[in-house]
Amino acid sequence: MVEADSAARALNILGDRWTLMIIALAFNGVRRFDDFQGRISIARSLLTDRLRRLEDVGIFRRHRYCEHPPRDEYRLTEMGRDLYGAALMIIRWEKRWFYDRRIPAHRIKHKGCGKTFTPECRCKACGELVYARDCYAIPGPGAGEDPAQKPRAHRRSIVEPASPSDAMMQRSAEVLGDRWTAHVIASAFLGRRRFTEFQQALGVAPNILTDRLTRLVELGVLSQRLYQEKPARWEYRLTQEGLDLFPLVLELVRWGDRWLAGAKGPPKIIRHRLCGKVLKTTFTCDQCNEPVSAQDTRL
Ligand SMILES: [Zn+2]
Ligand SMILES: [Zn+2]
């Protein structure tokens, strides 16, 4: 068993690079099987599997648009559209650390002010920008344990987009698009640092954990520090780049609380030290400081 956590629950669904890329395409208006396949070079069987999985969890709804031959398209449900904030926070992080003007999502525009912008995450109550150091979590009504995740058969794989312009989420997919790397990061935000702490929290095999920690150090999200010489023991801390994933993790918590917590309610409540209130976030445009939503942005 592992500690119940909404970000972890969300990542059990989303922590797969194909899934992330499929959802990003859906926000770009892609609905049909062949169009998904044309935009990312994914095997038909894998695409079928991921679309079916997303339909099962309630992110997509299938709609038959042609009877002969039978053809379906995949539309985002309300639960799916509610991931828009997470998409905004992915764009925020990518733009801040790996800006690439060739990627259309990095040129996202705010219709309100007409400018290209970087989304920001603010506390709804006090209006301040949200940072990890200003927030803390306390147990919520749904606190408890969840079953540990079973390992999946497939291994970490590198995905190549069909064209550089579809490279949005490439970086985020490296970090979040693998269930274990994603869980390691969520766990690091809960204060875990040592190998054994990660292992206990995630119920993951040591060789997989070693592989993912090494990868996250290579990606610059975690830094590694020797805390004991004999035998050599390492601890892992979020770097500035890693800490900057906090708004995204928060958004996954919010989404998980809303759609996956069930009747028991949220496993954790996050409070904002600066104003003392339970943290509710809002996304704003860094150019005009006005709130942004799916309706007034163009991906
Ligand atoms: Zn606040
Ligand atoms: Zn604006």
Residue bearing the bigger pLDDT, 165 or 79: 79
pTM of this structure: 0.89
**Cα of 81 from ligand 2 centre, angstroms:** 21
Confidence of residue 245 (pLDDT cuts 50, 70, 90): very high
C-alpha span between 91 and 169 (Å, rounded): 8
**Cα of 280 from ligand 1 centre, angstroms:** 8
pLDDT recorded at residue 153: 47
Q: How many domains does the chain have?
A: 1
**Cα of 114 from ligand 2 centre, angstroms:** 7
| Ligand nearest the Cα atom of residue 287 | 2
Confidence of residue 152 (pLDDT cuts 50, 70, 90): low
For 213, phi and psi rounded to 5 degrees? Answer: -65, -45
Residue bearing the bigger pLDDT, 7 or 269: 269
| Ligand nearest the Cα atom of residue 135 | 1
How large is the C-alpha radius of gyration of the chain? 19
Q: Tell me what percent of the residues of the chain surpass a pLDDT of 90.
A: 66
What's the mean pLDDT when you consider all of the chain? 89
C-alpha span between 265 and 258 (Å, rounded): 8
Mean pLDDT of 82-97: 93
* Helix, strand, coil shares, percent, the chain, to 5: 45, 20, 35
Residue bearing the bigger pLDDT, 154 or 101: 101
| Ligand nearest the Cα atom of residue 126 | 1
Residues in CB range of 286: below 8 A, 6 or more apart: 117, 118, 119, 120
Strand 222-228 and strand 60-66: the pairing is unpaired
**Cα of 251 from ligand 2 centre, angstroms:** 21
**Cα of 10 from ligand 1 centre, angstroms:** 24
**Cα of 110 from ligand 2 centre, angstroms:** 5
Which helix (H) or strand (E) covers residue 226, if one does?
Answer: strand 222-228
Those residues whose beta carbon sits under 5 angstroms from the ion ligand 2 are 110, 112-113, 285, 287-288
Residue with tokens 């927030």: 135
| Ligand nearest the Cα atom of residue 134 | 1
User: Is residue 175 predicted with pLDDT exceeding 50?
Assistant: yes
Which helix (H) or strand (E) covers residue 119, if one does?
Answer: strand 119-123
User: Is residue 100 predicted with pLDDT exceeding 50?
Assistant: yes
Q: Which domain holds residue 185?
A: 2-298
Which helix (H) or strand (E) covers residue 45, if one does?
Answer: helix 44-57
User: Is residue 161 predicted with pLDDT exceeding 70?
Assistant: no
**Cα of 85 from ligand 2 centre, angstroms:** 16
**Cα of 289 from ligand 2 centre, angstroms:** 6
Residue 229: C-alpha distances to residues 29, 194, 225, 234 (Å): 54, 14, 11, 9
Residue 221 contacts residue 49 (beta carbons within 8 Å): no
Mean pLDDT of 50-54: 95
Among the residue ranges 9-13, 151-155, 261-265, the one predicted with the least confidence is: 151-155
Which of 216, 237, 215 lies closest to 226 in space, CA to CA? 237
Omega before residue 69 within 30° of 0, cis: yes
C-alpha span between 85 and 90 (Å, rounded): 9
Residue bearing the bigger pLDDT, 177 or 190: 190
| Ligand nearest the Cα atom of residue 283 | 2
**Cα of 129 from ligand 1 centre, angstroms:** 8
**Cα of 286 from ligand 2 centre, angstroms:** 7
Those residues whose beta carbon sits under 5 angstroms from the ion ligand 1 are 123, 125-126, 272, 274-275
